[in-house]
Amino acid sequence: MRTLADKALRSLREEGVRGFLFRTRQYIKKHTGHVEHIDQYVDVLFVNGCPLPHPYRYRVQHQREQLAILGLSSEEVYYEDVRPEMVSLCRTVIIYRCPVTPAIENFISRAKFFNKSVFFDIDDLVIDTKYTDQIPFVAAMSQEDKALYDDGVNRYRRTMQLCDAVITTTEALAGELSGYMKEVFVNRNTASGTMIALSEKARKEKAKLKEAGKTVTLGYFSGSITHNDDVELVLPVLVSLLKRYKQLRLLLVGELDLPSELEAYRGQVLFRKFVDWTHLPSLIAEADINLVPLRDTIFNAAKSENKWVEASLVGVPTVASRVGALAQMIDDGQTGLLCSDAKEWETALSRLIESPEERRRLAKKALSHVMQHCTTETAGRNFREFIISHRPPTIAFLTPSLLISGGILVALKHADILREAGYDVTIINMDNRPGSPAQVPWAPEKYASFLADKTVVQAAFDQGVATMWLTTAFFRRGVIRRPCYLVQNLESGFYDHGTMERMGANATYCQQGLEYLTISRWCQDWLRERFGQASRYAPNGLDRQAFAPAERDWSGRIRILIEGDSSSEYKNVDESFRIAARLPEDKFEIWYVSYQGKGKNWYRVDKFFYRVPNEKMPELYRQCHILLKSSILESFSYPPLEMMATGGMVVVRPNGGNMEYLKDGENCLLYVPDNPDTAVSAIERLAADEALRQKLYEGGCRTAEERDWAKCRESILALYR
């Protein structure tokens, strides 16, 4: 409780009542189980680290509105609620005023691993104490409070320097930030549609009330306690004007004490407390002239022109210091008046106090300029182009599930190669069964992924890759600009004749508007011959380092490995076990590995392995002498290639897919389909003939070397270019 109380007091002191209330709401949400849940895939995810509502509104909500107007979707999350998996749900991350934390550091690292663009957004020089030490309010802090404040400033900088580039509000601020970051982009603060609507209402109400008005009101709208020092800049001028013009009123809004110099004119001074931003237009409209005095410091030069914009929207002209963004944005004498010293301030204010026509002229021109150049609707194009120009191509791989299979592993390997080449790759898992994992269950840190049916996709992918026939349905959602189909097998063959599934699978091989890709020469042939479909080919490969060869001792009991799903007809595992049943038990041991079916009662199995993680398969191969593989239908059969890569022997039933790399008597022994005796003979030959084993060992190693993923990399990248 003491810690919580200390945090509350510190928040009140540093962030004011509004900031304290904002942070309190966030705390209540977090500690009552309410954590913001991002369930949309969007173009941009904003991570907000600022508890103050006014800056947050301009730099998160208004920038989101800019992007929405120009067709880019976005979401936001408070930095304390960030979860690692949120990286998978966006193309770009913008982190606003967020101090570094272990969670944020991990989030940025993960985003960069997946080639997401990560930007830091900052609207003040709170990234180095050499700047914040110049603020009188900060300089007046106690040693303990200042140490805490300085730590926050340094943590902002550390977050910024983890990012790819920084987005900021003014050229002066950009100039200072360029000393810390290679790339700085200026996206000025803009007025939102709601601000414009509220200001228009306030402007109309003011026009009715001010027709017969005899007083002239100067308005000073303090943004925070740090602005007190700026009032002193024009104090002598205000005293002079209040003394000279009895109809003059001074409206002070915010955390300001009445300076002693103005005590004699207290009857002409009006005070207002901070109001919610939705009431601010009406409050500003009470003034006839908007005052924006700023001392000429680096810190002030970096500030934005918000006060001029807000006043212009309600038809109030601005007199401001010739400093930073105000000097750049205000056309002196046309959209406002700029002053460099007390004399210019007194001249400018006297001019406007005495001339309602001049006030109206300046206000009209300022309003016109702001509406044309300073709103979310009119000033977002460069921001959008900046974001788009920095994001890499994005590719979505559509998978029916994330259970281990040869086809899934190939798709994920392609995803790895593309990510390593700089692409933004997402795995979209279409498995809608209850409890299906959104992330790849056996390697969640390696893949950006989400569940298709539990995620609203609001951002388009540059390219999408269907990996099996059922996943082509995702293209109908219209969020893939370039749809491709990675054909890895004749999947219609998995189903009985006359079934809807068989017809549906066949129908996917002759679709217009799809680019067909494949990893099998056999698939390339039947796509062309049966469906008239041209396709591009890249060879399958394997990780030679993981599947390194090992010598076997053939003097004892010989271990035969059978691999495949016993419930799948096309895997034809029953034939392998009919062959195994003909082998003498004292000479041959049978191991069985499966990812789906767990075997049948009549199978002769000495040791069973179920759903072995892919990274553990090489060692399993190395513990066996012979792989017996009897699949009927394969586009590219991995187990024989993996077994020969580890130095083992392979006895295989030939099919269209595995004949791409299998050579009978050179790197394997083929047996006659549906003839178990020929398989038994091949196994017995291997057990007895050392010279044959040596020949097949050398041929198998050569074949595996030719299929190293490193040698296939360029061909695979070419598929997606």
pLDDT for residue 436 is more than 90: no
237, 240, 244, 248 alpha-carbon torsion, rounded to 10°: 50
- Asked if 53 contacts 17 with a C-beta cutoff of 8 angstroms, the reply is no
Report which DSSP code applies to 665: T
> How do residues 453-475 score in pLDDT, each as one tens digit?
999 999 999 999 999 999 999 99
pLDDT, one tens digit per residue, over 586-622 is 999 999 999 887 889 999 999 999 989 888 999 999 9
Residue type, 311: A
Q: To the nearest 10°, the Cα dihedral for 176, 177, 179, 184?
A: -120
pLDDT band at 328 (very low <50, low <70, confident <90, very high): very high
Asked if 211 and 236 count as a contact pair (C-beta separation under 8 A), the reply is no
User: How many CB atoms are closer than 10 A to CB 147?
Assistant: 10
Neighbours of 482 (CB within 10 A): 15
Give CA separation, 393 vs 381, 477, 646, in Å.
20, 19, 37
pLDDT of residue 513: 93
Sketch out the chain's domains with CATH numbers. Answer: 35-186 (3.40.50), 198-368 (3.40.50.2000), 392-537 (3.40.50.11090), 558-716 (3.40.50.2000)
**What would the pLDDT profile of 7-28 be if each residue is shown by its tens digit?**
554 454 444 444 444 555 555 4
Strands (E), 273-333: 289-292, 318-321
Total residue length of the chain: 721
Separation between Cα atoms, residue 221 and residue 637, nearest integer Å: 73
With contact defined as beta carbons under 8 Å apart, do 31 and 341 qualify? no
What does the alpha-carbon distance between residue 709 and residue 240 come to, in Å, rounded to a whole number? 82
- CA–CA gap between residue 401 and residue 470 (Å, rounded): 11
3-state secondary structure of 599: coil
CA count, 13 A, side-chain hemisphere, 265? 23
Tell me the one-letter amino acid at 62. Answer: H
Token digits of residue 425: 């790759």
pLDDT digits (tens, 9 = 90+) for 203-259: 998 877 655 568 999 999 985 544 567 888 999 999 999 999 999 999 999 877 788
- Report, in this order, helix, strand and coil percent for the chain, each rounded to 5: 45, 20, 35
The three-class DSSP label of residue 525 is helix
Amino acid identity for residue 220 in this structure: Y
Q: Which tens digit of pLDDT belongs to each residue from 247-264? A: 999 999 987 778 889 999
- Alpha-carbon radius of gyration of the chain: 35
Burial (0-12, 13-18, 19+ Cβ within 10 Å), 443 = middle
pLDDT band at 326 (very low <50, low <70, confident <90, very high): very high
The pLDDT tens digits for 40-62 are 999 999 999 999 899 999 999 99
Left (φ > 0), alpha (ψ -120 to 50) or beta: where does 435 sit? left
pTM above 0.85, yes or no: yes
* In the block, residue with structure tokens 């943004």: 223
Residue 23 confidence (pLDDT): 53
Rounded to 5 degrees, φ, ψ at 46 are -90, 130
How buried is 116 (Cβ within 10 angstroms: 0-12 exposed, 13-18 middle, 19+ buried)? buried
Provide DSSP, 88-121. GGEEEEEEES----HHHHHHHHHHHHTT-EEEEE
Q: For tokens 């990274």, name the residue.
A: 615
Tell me if 395 sits within 8 A of 418, measured CB to CB: yes
Residues 6+ apart with CB under 8 A from 151: none
| pLDDT at res. 5 | 47
